Chains A and B, each alone.
With several copies, the nearest count.
Chain A
Amino acid sequence: MWPEPCQKYSNSALRIDDQDTYPQRLVGEFVGLVVSNDWANAEYKHMVVRVHPKALEAYAGQMFHLLCPSPDGAEVWMRRPMSVYRVDRDAGCVEFLYKTEGRGTRGMAMLKAGDEFNIAGPLGKGFSLKPEWKNIVVLGRGVGLATLAPLAQLARNSGVRVTAILSARSPEVLMSKDYFESLGASVVTVFDSDGSSAVENVETILEGLIADSAADAFFTCGSARLLKLTQRLGKARGVPGQVAMEQIMVCGFGACYVCVRTFEVGGVKVLKRVCRDGPVFNMQEAVGW
């Protein structure tokens, strides 16, 4: 009689110091080590994970697919996609800013410094800056800020000026203002609590930026209202733009076609995959959120 197997899942994910036996790979399955996992506010946590150097090749708008531990003893069966909030090459870390929602993110929220965390990525097509864009406007709300933050970093590295319009329910739950400012962005905050986040008001702000030639392109994520506004205004004023979209994902590699959204390309409606054709898309092609 031979011993019964112990491991439920076979796994050869790359640990921090592993030699990569398939160096051509663009995407890795990594076992990282949690460095910190602290509350950013009452709903969001900020996680720093030390990983194999390969994972640090992630760029703005890309995501990782996370194998979340169980929050309740029962297995979490599917990975959860999460944008890269920040890559810290010096520390060898990737960072996530995430909202605790359902079982996956609640399990993720339980991880402590030193715990292992299996993450696959970087996945998807991120943001791209055209050379002619010197001033961009970034509009984000909620989870969207996590996705947009690395764009501010990318812009700084490319010498592009950023105006960040950060929307939130109230000043207490606003996130990432300091981070955007530290990256040199001019930050405008708008809130539901004082009415400043209303579409009309944001529209006025955007009109002002266009008038000041400070809006060569719009970038948005996390709000259907902001997407509609920037689409409409961008179309009317000839401002191009990009939007990062979400959809439930399975494979993350473009194989399963679970993560599709509808787009209109040259008058024809088509489905594109958030995980591979996106998550960042041409704003004018997006049909709904």
Chain B
Amino acid sequence: MVDLSVRIGDLTLQNPVTPASGAFSWEYNDVIDLNRLGGLVAKTICREPRLGNPTPRMAETEAGIIQSIGLPGKGIQYFLDHIVPEYAKFKPPLIVSASSEDIDEFALLASELDVPDVDVLEANISCPTRNTTGGNFAMHEEHTRKVVAALRAATKKPLWVKLSPNAGDIVSVALAAEEGGADCLVIANTFLSLKIRTDNFRPALGNKFGGLVSPALKPIVLRMVYQVAKQVKIPIIGIGGVTKAEDVVEYMLAGASAVGIGYAGFRNPTALVSIIDDLERWCDERGIEKVSDLIGAVRDDDMEMDTLAAASIGV
């Protein structure tokens, strides 16, 4: 039977399937056995209590949804007192996503989260719906380097950094995060988007802009994972449009060590567990002994192609 475990730095995940931050909570234990997951990823928390964005917070689009939640939460103290203990009841490592618009506050939050039951700090520097212009650290390599370095200094936990697909040059931002001291890159957050209702001419979301979430986006994010994996040395977690075991394989071939899943768990609450089951079967049917052998195993060095056309582009 295949060994599904993967290593992210010093941490071992029992399998490469994790939920995506904001699309998951311990409450999913009502429907799936959380102990089956590769990791538990808490919704992004902010230091101060926040109510989040105005409703409606979701609207369906051509092929997916746009959403704008605005990181609601009851603040760090409530999180440590009430939410961390909920997650601590389960075996998989707890990855805590955190966010702030202010570097000093962010570092303070990171140090406050440096507690035993938290296994990983995931820095969400890429939430497109935090403020109405959608700006965030991960849009710029300099901002990324700075905030990651500050977080690195503030915590001894493994530091994962979640990047934005809205950045024009994802490779430079990724390299900046690596230089800043990230242990792992999470690629990517949602795509800044807008829907206008043609019945009343108004934006469909209370917050106007929202993040697009759709299986349709997987080829874009996969391209980013592939490009970044060729340049950085740290592991990557691919997030975007995973709905089946083959999507996990595709991200791993592109260079990801694990994946995160949001949308598929909304569509099928049992999706994460069945994707793990399917991935095991997929590997077993093909005699793959370690799923980690798939990481970066894309065959891009010996492309078969129509020779004439190839010649025309000088390949």
Contacts and interface: CB of A to CB of B under 8 A. Distances in A.
Chains A, B in direct contact (C-beta < 8 Å): yes
A261 B54 CA distance: 10
Given A9-B271, A12-B274, A271-B308, A22 B33 contact: yes
Interface string A249-273: 0111111111111100000010100
B267 A67 contact: yes
B244 A256 contact: no
Nearest to A287: B308
B8 interface: no
A74 B214 CA distance: 13
Contacts of A13: 268, 270
B24 A1 contact: no
Which of the four size classes fits the interface of chain A? 35 or more
B107 interface: no
B303 interface: no
Contact of A11 (B57, B270, B306): B270
Interface stretch (A25-33, A149-157, A173-181, A196-204): A25-33
Most B-side CB within 10 Å, residue of A3, A28, A271: A271
A78 B72 contact: no
Contacts of A3: 199
B243 A9 contact: yes
A22 B57 contact: no
Contacts of B278: 10
Given A1-B200, A276-B27, A287-B308, A250 B274 contact: no
Interface string B41-69: 00100000001100111111111110101
Contact of B23 (A5, A27, A255, A271): A255
Contact of A257 (B31, B57, B60): B57
A78 B58 CA distance: 10
Interface string A50-84: 00000000000000010100000011011100000
Interface in A69-123: 74-75, 77-79, 118, 120
Nearest to B249: A5
Given A256-B23, A258-B58, A77 B63 contact: yes
Contacts of B277: 12
A70 to B, nearest CB: 12
B286 interface: yes
Contacts of A26: 30-31
Contacts of A251: 23, 265-266, 269
Contacts of B13: none
Contacts of B286: 2
A19 interface: no
A260 B52 contact: yes
30 contacts: A1-B200, A2-B198, A2-B200, A4-B198, A4-B199, A5-B245, A8-B62, A8-B243, A9-B243, A10-B264, A10-B274, A12-B277, A22-B32, A27-B31, A65-B269, A78-B60, A120-B31, A248-B55, A248-B59, A251-B265, A252-B269, A255-B23, A255-B28, A256-B22, A258-B67, A260-B55, A260-B57, A271-B51, A276-B27, A287-B308
Interface of A: 1-5, 7-13, 22, 24-29, 65, 67, 74-75, 77-79, 118, 120, 247-248, 250-262, 269, 271, 276, 287
Given A25-B32, A65-B269, 9 more contacts: A4-B198, A8-B244, A10-B264, A11-B270, A12-B277, A74-B62, A79-B267, A257-B52, A276-B27
Interface of B: 22-25, 27-28, 30-33, 43, 51-52, 55-65, 67, 69, 72, 197-200, 214, 243-246, 264-271, 273-275, 277-278, 285-286, 306-309
